[in-house]
């Protein structure tokens, strides 16, 4: 059940197939070449004293070095703990102190931030990549000297930690989710089995590789099945559209913000999506209006996905036909997974908190036994998301357990109300927070961002919502903003909205 052998076995099976296209350098690597790179990286890491269970971190934009490290870590039993380059130095220092990496690799854009980080949280070995003026040696020069044979792999089980990925921390300090070897393996199996991926599939990877979506949605599953990934350094909309056409991409993952930017970009109208089997959005609720607009302009298959760092990015699936018929649903559970919906008393029904059990679930949080015990109970991972299941077995995400407003004794789930607001043709995005009220205890305050050139009044939007939802769910106040504060994971930071509009914090 360990995943240390995944790249080696694929390289043995299909050594001459192209595995990775690196758009920043033009390199096109076969599986054999990718495996040799990982072997060199593994020997280099071992020369620095990295052994089983020790952490390796990187602070850099997407590059082949991420692939070197993630597969090298598996081969030598180390733990890959990439850092979110969007964080500020104090936030990065907290994570580095928490996971204590033995090696930190730094890209040139982040050398100044790394200097500040290292003053607060020293790391034994610092290595510069791509000419970064930092560290004791150049990564490229060091791996060029390293052996490209298979490194010795220590005894491993499926429960050994392979990745350490820190959650966004919107409700407090980030927690390091421990992703074991079996989770990586079973995410590959589940994705291939449930999404019908083949060796002919090609996916652009432009989401950051410090994120579970970038690492596990299509990258590791496609490299498991023998497909191809196209690696982009960052998200640039016109380049993404070119890549989809030029590389014949077939499956494309993004977050709602990404798809909105693509839809509004100058190149969208002339973009060629003839090879694309489907687009899929994750990371945040997908506005139904965005999907309708996309389909009206380009047609094709557009799905909403669902996942979490702790259980993997691919937890549901649906057919092409179902993605149209069940617009707004995330689909049915993936092949090797169990799911339950329970209320606050633990009683099972067709609506409640989503619980997930299966081999694709993490082992808990790094150094946080209390948080682990709260999230993992009797083998079930408590997602904190409220979902409902229809008569055909399709799931819909209603909201967060903790993102709920209790108004006059009635539960109001923010995601449900936000989804209705996003259906209004003038609304780009919307976020609901609870506002104290002397009569009802709490009422909804909706923060709305309008589409460019569009107009709407608060009363108009409230009437639109009132025609679709119960009266108690209609926000009592609507305010307008130029933009919403987003985390690096594409989710609205509601703590900032509460601070801005309610004076909290």
Interval 439-481: pLDDT, tens = 788 899 999 999 999 999 999 999 999 998 888 899 999 999 9
Listed as own residue / partner, the contacts of 325-328 with beta carbons closer than 8 Å and 24 or more positions apart are: 326/392, 326/394, 327/288, 327/291, 327/292, 328/288, 328/304, 328/396, 328/419
Q: Please give the share of the chain, as a percent, with pLDDT higher than 90.
A: 84
What is the token pair recorded at 376? 């993992």
CA 484, CA 503: separation in Å to the nearest integer?
Answer: 16
- Between 285 and 138, residue with greater pLDDT: 138
The pTM of the full predicted model, rounded to 2 decimals, is: 0.85
User: Taking the chain, what is the end-to-end CA distance rounded to the nearest angstrom?
Assistant: 45
Q: Of 32-36, 173-177, 194-198, where does mean pLDDT reach its minimum?
A: 173-177
| pLDDT, tens digit (0-9, with 9 covering 90-100), for 98-115 | 999 999 999 999 999 999
Model confidence band, residue 488 (pLDDT cutoffs 50, 70, 90): low
pLDDT tens readout for residues 286-331: 888 889 999 999 999 999 999 999 999 999 999 999 999 999 999 9
The CATH architecture one would assign to domain 403-502 is: 2-Layer Sandwich (3.30)
The distance from CA 390 to its chain's CA centroid, rounded to whole angstroms, is 26
Cross-strand bridge partners of residue 205: 231
Domain(s) labelled CATH 3.40.50.12780 in the chain stretch across 6-20+29-180
Specify the domain boundaries for CATH 2.30.38.10 within the chain.
Answer: 331-402
Whether the pLDDT of residue 264 is over 60: the answer is: yes
Q: Phi, psi at residue 353, to the nearest 5°?
A: -65, 135
CATH 3.30.300.30 segments of the chain: 403-502
- Confidence band of 404 (pLDDT split at 50, 70, 90): confident
Correct CATH for 331-402 of 3.40.630.30, 3.40.1280.10, 2.30.38.10, 3.40.50.300: 2.30.38.10
Q: pLDDT by residue (tens digit) across 45-56?
A: 999 999 999 999
CATH number of 6-20+29-180: 3.40.50.12780
């Amino acid at each position: 059940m360990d995943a240390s052998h995944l790249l080696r076995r694929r390289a043995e099976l299909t050594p001459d197939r192209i595995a990775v296209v690196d758009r920043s350098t033009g390199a096109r690597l076969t599986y054999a070449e990718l495996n040799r790179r990982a072997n060199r990286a593994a020997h280099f890491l071992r020369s620095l004293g990295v052994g089983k269970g020790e952490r390796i971190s990187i602070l850099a934009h997407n590059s082949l070095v991420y692939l070197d490290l993630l597969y090298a870590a598996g081969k030598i039993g180390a733990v890959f703990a990439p850092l979110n380059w969007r964080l500020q130095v104090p936030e990065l220092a907290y994570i580095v102190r928490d996971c204590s990496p033995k090696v930190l690799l730094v890209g040139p854009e982040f050398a100044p931030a790394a200097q500040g980080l290292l003053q607060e949280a020293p790391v034994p070995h610092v290595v510069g990549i791509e000419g970064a003026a930092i560290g004791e040696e150049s990564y490229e020069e060091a791996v060029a000297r390293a052996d490209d044979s298979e490194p010795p792999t220590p005894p491993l089980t499926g429960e050994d930690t392979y990745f350490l990925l820190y959650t966004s921390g919107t409700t407090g300090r980030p927690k390091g989710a421990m992703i074991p070897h079996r989770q990586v393996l079973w995410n590959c199996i589940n994705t291939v089995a449930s999404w019908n991926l083949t060796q002919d599939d090609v996916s652009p990877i432009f989401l950051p590789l410090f994120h579970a979506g970038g690492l596990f949605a299509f990258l590791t599953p496609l490299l498991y099945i023998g497909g191809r990934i196209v690696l982009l350094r960052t998200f640039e909309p016109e380049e993404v559209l070119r890549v989809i056409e030029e590389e014949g991409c077939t499956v494309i993952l993004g977050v709602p913000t990404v798809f909105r930017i693509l839809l509004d970009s100058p190149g969208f109208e002339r973009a060629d999506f003839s090879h694309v089997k489907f687009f899929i959005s994750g990371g945040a609720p997908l506005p139904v209006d965005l999907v309708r607009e996309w389909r009206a302009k380009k047609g094709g298959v557009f799905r909403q996905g669902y996942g979490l760092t702790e259980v993997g990015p691919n937890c549901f699936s649906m057919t092409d036909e179902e993605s149209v018929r069940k617009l707004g649903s995330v689909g049915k559970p993936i092949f090797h997974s169990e799911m339950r919906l329970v209320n606050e008393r633990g009683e099972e029904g067709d609506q409640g908190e989503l619980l997930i059990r299966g081999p694709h679930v993490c082992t808990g949080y790094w150094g946080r036994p209390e948080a682990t015990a709260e999230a993992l109970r009797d083998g079930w991972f408590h997602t904190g998301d409220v979902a409902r299941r229809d008569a055909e077995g399709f799931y819909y995400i209603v909201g967060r357990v903790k993102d709920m407003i209790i108004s006059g004794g009635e539960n109001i789930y923010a995601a449900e109300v936000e989804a209705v607001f996003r259906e209004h043709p003038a609304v780009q995005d919307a976020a609901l927070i609870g506002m104290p009220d002397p009569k009802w205890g709490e009422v909804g305050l909706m923060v709305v961002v309008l589409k460019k050139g569009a107009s709407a009044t608060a009363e108009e939007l409230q009437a639109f919502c009132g025609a679709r939802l119960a009266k108690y769910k209609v926000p009592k106040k609507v305010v307008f903003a130029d933009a919403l504060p987003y985390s690096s994971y594409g989710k609205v930071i509601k703590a900032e909205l509460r601070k801005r509009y309610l004076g909290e914090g």
